[in-house]
Chain A
Amino acid sequence: MAEQIIFYVLAIAIVVFSILSVTSRRILRAATYLLFVLLATAGLYLLLGYQFLFGVQISVYAGGIMVLYIFSILLTSHAGDKAKKVSWKRLLPAGFAAVAGLAICGHIIFHNVFKIAETVAAEPTMQEIGTALMGTDKYQYLLPFEAISILLLACIIGGIMIARKR
């Protein structure tokens, strides 16, 4: 029962704040609403029993990426800036695409997805995650781990090269 209440609170927070974050005309407020959405998503991960993913979501998204966003917003806009009103020419196709896609997805979810409400309470321990991340057997992920470390290195170099003053 408590889980259901938590789930519905998180669900309402995600829906309301994600819609506010794409419609708010003040960009810093939009970033704050996005932060709330990301935190509520982290809450969903915790509710599903993935504590490690919860920690990663909080530290990478809410901690790292949002600080980057807020810095760049403060660098590129002035206090009290408001975005111009969305013109009908842009609003209509965007709203149509979103509503039509949501209708199709909702139809698929309610008619074709398995009606499962049961799951086991097994939560992966930190040791399981560690061995799966560092092993080379089947269902172990050392190669993607190394690939992503090379990607991050390329990103560091690329970020410095792009953003430096010349």
Chain B
Amino acid sequence: MSNIPLAAYLVISAIMFFAGVYGFLSRRNMLTILMSLELMLNAADINFVVFNKYLFPGQLEGHFFALFAIGVSAAETAIAIAIIINIYRNLKNIYVDEVNKMKF
């Protein structure tokens, strides 16, 4: 089919993952932290799919793992955004270093 090496895909997903790590550690807004988390999950999904395609092309394990991971991350994002909106409603603030009252 193609002659794109396996390592090229892995390099892309590693760059994406560590961009996510950087954002997760340096951002202060909760929504941008959640977006960085999304980048990391997406990079992991790419790895599953690529290993499935290159190492076990007849099977579908990585494909289904990525599929279920997408579903779980959608659920997780919805709940996290609900929590963030609730925090904003109560404290008028979604910056992690200014939200230090967990008493509503």
Contacts and interface: CB of A to CB of B under 8 A. Distances in A.
Is chain B found bound to chain A in the same assembly? yes
The 8 A-B residue pairs with the shortest CB-CB distance in the complex, in nearest-first order: A22-B23, A94-B25, A98-B22, A94-B26, A121-B1, A163-B82, A155-B75, A18-B19
A101 B21 contact: yes
Contacts of A162: 79, 82-83, 86
Contacts of B38: 34, 38, 61, 65
Interface string B42-78: 1001100110011101111101101110111111011
Interface in B70-104: 70-75, 77-79, 81-86, 88, 94
Interface of B: 1-12, 14-29, 31-32, 34-36, 38-39, 42, 45-46, 49-50, 53-55, 57-61, 63-64, 66-68, 70-75, 77-79, 81-86, 88, 94
A109 B14 contact: yes
B79 A158 contact: yes
B80 to A, nearest CB: 10
Contacts of B2: 3-4, 7, 47, 117, 119
Contacts of B70: 56-57, 60-61
Contacts of A31: 35
Contacts of B66: 53
